[in-house]
């Protein structure tokens, strides 16, 4: 199967497999069966085998997957061989928390630029990085070769800020503003909205309450 034809839903599960396999690797485990991995992840062995087999033959009948090898292969498939530089745009409470978060580097990402339009914030430092004027995005993003941004600006300016980022060369946006953004074809977007997560649960919790 051509890699371009692999369903998006399968791609979306690979980072979840990778996260668990990396943790098992840190714990010193060498091999795992699709059965056990399925139990850890609350899914079936069949689904894991089917998903992973899209990319080649990584498991052995009887012994299962070699964890360090599968981690390496998943990192390669997801283009995580090198660290990606990321910009955080909008340094409010959440942008600040993301800028200080230490967990990105192990997962393939390094925050290398911070932008805000508030004169009170511009020039301040977080973890050694200086908050830059958002009006410099068009020159600084290409200069730094940044392809990915986390967008943590207010809803009212989210679309226009995303447009500026895309024109500057950004090809993937992790959008924290609770609004659907329209981006040109070929630009990736993932949304993070805690209220959506909460509302996905209340459908079920409310049924049992009633």
For binding to a copy of itself (CB under 8 A), which residues are involved? 3-4, 11-12, 14-16, 18-20, 23, 40-42, 77-80, 84, 86, 92-94, 96-98, 100-101, 103-104, 107-109, 147-148, 150, 155, 171-172, 174, 178-180, 182, 186, 188-210
Min. distance of Cβ 23 from a copy of itself in angstroms?
7
- Distance CA(49)–CA(124), nearest Å, equals 48
Taking the least distance from each CB to a copy of itself, the nearer of 60 and 145 is 145
- Distance CA(20)–CA(37), nearest Å, equals 8
Taking the least distance from each CB to a copy of itself, the nearer of 16 and 63 is 16
- Lookup: tokens for 130: 């200086």
CB-CB neighbours of 131 under 10 Å: 22
Taking the least distance from each CB to a copy of itself, the nearer of 4 and 61 is 4
- Distance CA(95)–CA(92), nearest Å, equals 5
User: Long-range contact list for 137-143, CB < 8 A, 24+ apart?
Assistant: 137/87, 137/89, 137/164, 137/165, 137/168, 138/164, 138/167, 138/168, 139/168, 140/113, 140/115, 140/168, 141/87, 141/113, 141/165, 141/168, 141/169, 141/170, 142/168, 142/169
Min. distance of Cβ 171 from a copy of itself in angstroms?
5
Min. distance of Cβ 43 from a copy of itself in angstroms?
10
Min. distance of Cβ 142 from a copy of itself in angstroms?
14
Min. distance of Cβ 140 from a copy of itself in angstroms?
19
Taking the least distance from each CB to a copy of itself, the nearer of 60 and 188 is 188
- Distance CA(27)–CA(152), nearest Å, equals 34
Taking the least distance from each CB to a copy of itself, the nearer of 28 and 186 is 186
Min. distance of Cβ 175 from a copy of itself in angstroms?
9
Taking the least distance from each CB to a copy of itself, the nearer of 21 and 122 is 21
- Lookup: tokens for 185: 């074809």
């Amino acid at each position: 199967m051509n890699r371009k034809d692999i369903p998006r839903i399968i791609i979306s599960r690979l980072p979840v497999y990778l996260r668990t396999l990396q943790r098992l690797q840190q714990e010193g485990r060498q091999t795992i069966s699709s059965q056990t991995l399925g139990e850890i992840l609350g899914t079936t062995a069949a689904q894991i085998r089917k998903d992973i087999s899209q990319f080649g033959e990584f498991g052995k009948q009887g012994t299962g997957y070699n964890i360090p090898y599968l981690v390496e292969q998943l990192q390669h498939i997801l283009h995580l061989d090198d660290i990606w530089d990321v910009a955080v745009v909008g340094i409010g409470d959440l942008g600040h928390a993301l800028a200080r978060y230490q967990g990105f580097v192990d997962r393939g990402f390094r925050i290398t630029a911070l932008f805000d339009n508030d004169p009170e914030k511009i020039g301040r430092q977080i973890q050694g990085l200086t908050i830059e004027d958002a009006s410099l995005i068009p020159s600084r993003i290409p200069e730094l070769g940044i392809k990915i941004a986390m967008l943590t600006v207010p809803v009212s300016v989210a679309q226009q800020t995303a447009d500026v980022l895309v024109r500057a060369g950004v090809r993937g946006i992790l959008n924290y503003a609770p609004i659907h953004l329209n981006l040109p074809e070929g630009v990736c977007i993932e949304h993070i909205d805690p209220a959506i997560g909460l509302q996905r649960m209340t459908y079920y919790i409310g049924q049992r309450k009633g």
